[in-house]
Structure 1
C-alpha cells in the first residue's frame, strides 16, 4: 500500500507541463462548445446593439428633461401663487383693520350724536339755539320764500342748501369775466357794509360816552366830610 501511494505522485511529476496545459485547454474548449454558442458573429453587431439602446433611451432622456422642466415650472408657479396669496392676505388684513377703525369711528360719532341729541332735548329753551333758529328763518324768508313759515328749521336748512348748490352750478357755467365783476361788486358791498357798521358802532359808543359825561356833569357834588 505504501509503495503504491508513493508511486502515484511520482507518476504525476513525470508528466510534462506542456502536455497538462494542452489537455486542460482541450477539455475546457470541449465544455464550452458543448454548453455555449457564440452570440456575436460580426463586429458590427455590438455597435448595432449600442445604437439601438441609445435610440431607445433618447426618448426617455427627453421625457426626463421635459418632466424636470415641468416640475421646475410647477415649483415656480406654486412659489409665485403663495407669494401672491400672502400679499392678498396682507392687503385684506389692512382693509379689515381699516374697516374696524371706520366702524369704531362711526360708533363714536353715533354716541356723540346721541349725546348732542339728548342735550338738545334737555335744552329746548337754550337762547343760542333760539337765536340760530331765528337767523335761519330770516334767511329763508329773505332769500327763499317770504310767506311760507310753517315748516321746520331742518327743512329750511335743506332748502337753503339746495338753493346754494343751484346758484353754484349756475356760477360754474357763467362767463369768468362776469363772475369776477360780480365778485368785485360783492367785495365792495361787503367793505361798504363793514364801514357803515363801524361808523354806526362808533356813533353808538360816542353817544354812550356823551351820555355818561352829561350824567357826571349834571350829578350833584358829593358833600365833603
Structure 2
C-alpha cells in the first residue's frame, strides 16, 4: 500500500512538475510576447510623438504662412484701395479736364465767330489745304504699299523706316495745330465786347418799343373788333325788327285787300248795314278806349282818335323796360288762356246741352217712316247776308291786345 501510494505520489509529482514546466514555458513565452509588445508600443509611442511633433511643426509653419498671407493680403487690399482712390481722383481730374476742354473749345468757337469774316475765310482755306495735303500723303503711302506687294516675292516690302526716308513729308504732324487766334491783345476783346453789349442794349430797347407798339396794335384791333361785333349785332337787330315790321305791314295790307274785296262784293244795302255796324263798333271802341263821354263826332274822327290813342300807347310801350313788358305779356297771355279755356268749357257745355236736348226730342218724338223718294232741290242759292253782332268791350280790348302783344300762346 505504501509503495502504491508512493508511486502514485511520484506520478502525481511528475505530472505536476510537467504541468509546472509547461506553465513556466507558457509564462516565459508570454513574457517574451509582452516584451515584444512593450517594444512595439514604445516604438509606436515614439512614432506617435514624432508625428505629433511633426504636426505641431507643420501647424506652426502653416500658422506663420497664413499670417504672412493675411498680412500680404491686407497690404494688397490697402494697395488696391489706394490704387482705386488714385484711379477715382485721376478720373475726376480727367472729367474736370474734359469740362475745361469743352469750355475752352466753346470759348475758341466764340472767339472765332467774333473775329472778322475775312480772317475766318483765310483760316478755313488753310484748314482745307492741310486736309488736302494729308489726304494726298495717305494716297501716296497706300500706292507705294500696293506697288511693293505687287513686286516679286523675293523682294520684301519696304519697312516703315524706308518709307519715311523716301517720303519725309509723312512725318508731318497730321494732328490739329494750335488754333490761331485773331485777338492778340485782351484789350481788343474787351473793346469788341463793349461794342457788342452796346448793340445788344440797343436791340433790346428796339424790341421793347416794338413790343409796346404790338401791344397797342393788338389792343386797338381788339377794340375795333368789339365795336364791329356790336355794330353787327345792332344791325342784325334792326334788320330783324324791319323784317317783323314788313311782315306786319304785309299782313295789314292783305287784311285791307280782303276787306276791300269784301266791300266791293257787297251791295249798297249791305254796305249801309255794314257801315252802320262799323260806326257802332267804332263808337264802342272809342267809348271804351278813348273817351267814354257822349260826343257828336263822326266815325272818321273817332277812328283818328283811336289811331292817335294806339300810337301814344305804342310810344309809351317803347319807353317801358323790356322786363316789365315781358311780365305784362305773360300776365295777359295767362288771362287770355284762362278766358279761352272758360269759353271752350262754356261752348262744350252748350253743345252737350243741345245734344242732350236733341236726344230727348228724338226719344220722345214718334218714329215716322218716310215713304217714297226724297225730294232734293236742284241747287241752293247763295244768300249774301251780313250778320251784325253786338259784342262787349272785352272783345275790343282783346283785339287791341292781340295787335299790341301778338297772339303767342305760351303753354
- TM bin (shorter chain): 0.3 to 0.5
User: Rg larger in 1 or in 2?
Assistant: 2
TM-score of the pair, normalised by structure 2? 0.24
Query: Higher relative contact order at CA 8 Å, sep ≥6: structure 1 or structure 2?
Result: 2
